[in-house]
Structure 1
Amino acid sequence: MSTLGWILLMSFGGGALSVLGAAAIVRQFSPATVSALVSYAIGALLGAAFLELLPHALEHGNIERTTATVLGGIFLFFLLEKLVLWRHCHHEHCETHAPHTDHAGHDHGRSGLMILIGDSFHNFVDGVLIAAAFLESTQLGIVTSLAIIAHEIPQELGDFVVLINSGYSRARALAFNLLSSLATLVGALLAYTTLGTARDFTPTLLALAAASMIYVAVADLIPGLHRRAELRATVQQSLLIALGVSSIALVGALLGGFE
């Protein structure tokens, strides 16, 4: 399959898969299920960032510039979150993003419209990252796509709860989330047409991809795990995080000769 074919398949299929997966879980929503997904997603994100993205970025780019890009990217994503591009809070103190919505589905002042806007932006960035990874190598593109899908499911799950709490029916919530997922395809196509003639930017985008995954895992997902401090929960979370990292390492090893 061509590079463009892989990009189209993963950006469109991956986005739709994460939305449909979240929709299926909403039908049997339970805190234990969400917690397990979040723990696994943390491991998948950190594994992709440190085992795949950063090594490739450092291999093909300037070391100082790449590490500075990661640092700047983490700060950038902090500012974006503060500007309510990824989530919307009307109150000074509110719950963190999607995976930590409470059992009753209260949106704590977050509007469904702003959730869709923020999710569309996030999906657009995911598309850019998927295209950048595939332009580097097919192996890296597949691993990056799998990691993005892994962390999108719990986030989309929370978005469903917010939309339903804001008055959307399950059918409308699914339709709007699928529409929002098309932003992944738009971002991927734009990145492909741009990066095809500007490969020098690939290490920078890979560094930004790593920064995004590190930030989401450490700032958005890990704090929610600390709400369950008992030993049994800690052991379960640790094992699932390790499983997420191991799955990325395993996929990378299996796809080592795929190109």
Structure 2
Amino acid sequence: MIWWIILATFIVSLISLVGIIISSNKIQKFLYYFIAFAAGTLIAATFFDLIPHALIEIEEFGVDIETGFIFVVFGIVLFFILEKFIHWHHCGKEKCHKPTGLLILTGDFVHNFIDGVLIAGAFMLDFTTGIVTSFIVLIHEIPQEFGDFAVLMHSGYTKSRALFLNFVSALSAILGGILGFFMFDMIESFSPYAVLIAAGGFLYIAMSDIIPSMNGHEDKKRLILGALIFILTIILMRFFLEMLHGI
């Protein structure tokens, strides 16, 4: 069964390379709109998926919702500190990539690790459940990984570098799958708190960098279209996630 878990999590990790289908010229031309999509994806995934489901899980452990939100706030503060640390220690007087890129990779690493644990748990129930869960996670990750790729491009990485780093971060799903297979009970009890911390990090990234970066354009049509993409992404992600969780 462990080999099926490794195979499933590896296939899910390949979704992180979704940005390869878009040419570099189109990425640069439409980066502003990709950023609007990324912002909408982060907000929707955080409020409609990560936080609600993590809160349900911790309630099953007898922990109240207010305590759960403390972990979200902790995630915001933690990513704020990480951003300052990255800036102070890696930028200095030299030109450097925005800390947002490393922050999104950090949050995505945790998120993908938890996905791996979920896939492992599903396979441990039975093979069919494992396949279905892996498929749902795979479909679920497409907009998320595309959004992460857009954020990395926005942070100043080249297309090839962004694809590579996004893929490396996604490989944490394999680690989560392996550890989940051998230590499922221990990791399962900790995973919802890790998800809430990651959710706080995603919120910080969206609100402190991604959304503000959409305001620096004088072209009114560009601003309006970007705002529409942002809003529509949130709405469509809401229905998309609801459909997936209904399967």
Q: State if a TM-score over 0.5 links the two structures.
A: yes
Q: Deviations over 1:4-63 (max 9, x none)?
A: 968854x534543333x4344353145441111110111111111111222212223221
What is the correspondence of 1:1-259 to structure 2 with a 5 Å cutoff?
Answer: 9=8, 12-19=10-17, 21-29=18-26, 31-61=28-58, 62-84=64-86, 88-91=90-93, 96-97=98-99, 121=106, 124-131=109-116, 138=133, 141=137, 145-158=141-154, 162=157, 173=161, 176-177=164-165, 180-181=168-169, 183-189=171-177, 192-193=180-181, 196-198=184-186, 199-258=188-247
- Distance of aligned partners of 1:28 and 1:5 in 2 relative to their CA distance in 1, 3 Å threshold: farther
The structure carrying a bigger helix percent of its residues is: 2
- Distance of aligned partners of 1:186 and 1:175 in 2 relative to their CA distance in 1, 3 Å threshold: same
- Distance of aligned partners of 1:256 and 1:185 in 2 relative to their CA distance in 1, 3 Å threshold: closer
- Distance of aligned partners of 1:140 and 1:220 in 2 relative to their CA distance in 1, 3 Å threshold: farther
- Distance of aligned partners of 1:215 and 1:174 in 2 relative to their CA distance in 1, 3 Å threshold: closer
- Distance of aligned partners of 1:174 and 1:243 in 2 relative to their CA distance in 1, 3 Å threshold: closer
- Distance of aligned partners of 1:74 and 1:133 in 2 relative to their CA distance in 1, 3 Å threshold: farther
Residue identity in the other structure for 1:77: F
Contiguous gaps of at least 5 residues in structure 2: 59-63, 123-128
Q: Cα RMSD between the aligned structures?
A: 4.0
Question: In structure 2, what is the equivalent of residue 107 of structure 1?
Answer: none
What is the identity percentage for the equivalent residue pairs of Structure 1 and Structure 2? 21
- CA–CA distance in structure 1, aligned partners of residues 238 and 2 of structure 2: 22
Scaled by the length of structure 1, the TM-score of the pair is 0.68
- CA–CA distance in structure 2, aligned partners of residues 47 and 3 of structure 1: 33
Residue identity in the other structure for 1:90: G
Instruction: Report how many residues are paired.
Output: 229
Contiguous gaps of at least 5 residues in structure 1: 100-114, 165-169
